[in-house]
């Protein structure tokens, strides 16, 4: 009986896999601030299942924008910057990847280089070989909430002026744990803290790991 049930499960899984479309490889190339802003504001169909890769040409991009779900920004030699109030990138969308680029909040306006803080969303933020700089709040600002996953590899978090390298706080009484893992990263601050953790403890077995 168990063998028959196992065969039925395998057949059902094969049917599901046949019905599941492959992840499409959608790529957009941008080379100006205006092109990047238009992509980030208009794309609403992307997701983990249907991701969009945005390739940035080398150069400077003045931008302050939300990063929607399913977006990967990849740009060796690209620098995204902002100098007014607000974050350079609000990466609170689901399944956002930032890769091989620099994000710089230069001030005097207040904001983060990258900000991820959206309670009520199950979000995943991945940082790979990025340099984040912040001159007012922090280079990376995190509000840790239920189901959130943040992973950074080989990245640099730099707090200039009075800013922190990484600033994180925890939302209390969350229905599920969160996870943040940083591997092979560096954290610096001229006058703030390289990393600052405020009011941690959500009532769940959260994971915070530096390696």
Q: Are 128 and 153 in contact (CB under 8 A)?
A: yes
- List, for residues 119-162, the tens digit of each pLDDT value: 666 689 999 999 999 999 999 999 888 888 999 999 999 999 99
- List, for residues 169-191, the tens digit of each pLDDT value: 888 888 888 889 999 999 999 99
Q: Exposure of 21 by Cβ count < 10 A (0-12 exposed, 13-18 middle, 19+ buried)?
A: exposed
Q: Which domains does the chain have, with CATH numbers?
A: 24-210 (2.160.20.10)
* pLDDT at 99 exceeding the cut of 50: yes
Task: Characterise 70 by phi-psi region: left (phi > 0), alpha (psi -120 to 50), beta (else).
Answer: left
Q: Are 122 and 153 in contact (CB under 8 A)?
A: no
Question: What pLDDT is stored for residue 140 in this prediction?
Answer: 97
∠ CA 164-160-184, rounded to 5°: 65
């Amino acid at each position: 009986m168990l063998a028959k049930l196992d065969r039925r499960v395998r057949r059902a899984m094969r049917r599901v896999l046949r019905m599941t479309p492959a992840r499409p490889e959608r790529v957009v190339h941008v080379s100006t601030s205006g092109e990047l802003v238009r992509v980030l504001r208009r794309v609403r169909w992307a997701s983990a299942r249907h991701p969009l890769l945005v390739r940035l040409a080398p150069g400077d991009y003045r931008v302050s924008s939300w990063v929607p779900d399913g977006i990967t920004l990849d740009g060796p030699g690209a620098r995204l910057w902002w100098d007014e109030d607000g974050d350079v990138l609000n990466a609170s969308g689901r399944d956002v990847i930032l890769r091989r680029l620099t994000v710089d909040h230069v001030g005097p306006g207040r904001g983060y280089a990258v900000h991820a803080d959206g309670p009520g969303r199950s979000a995943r933020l991945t940082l790979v070989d990025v340099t984040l700089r912040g001159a007012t709040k922090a280079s990376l600002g995190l509000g840790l909430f239920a189901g959130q996953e943040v992973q950074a590899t080989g990245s640099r978090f730099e707090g200039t002026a009075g800013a922190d390298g990484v600033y994180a706080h925890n939302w209390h009484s969350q229905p599920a744990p969160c996870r943040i893992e940083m591997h092979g990263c560096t954290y610096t601050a001229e006058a703030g803290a390289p990393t600052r953790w405020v009011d941690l403890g959500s009532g769940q077995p959260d994971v915070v790991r530096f390696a």
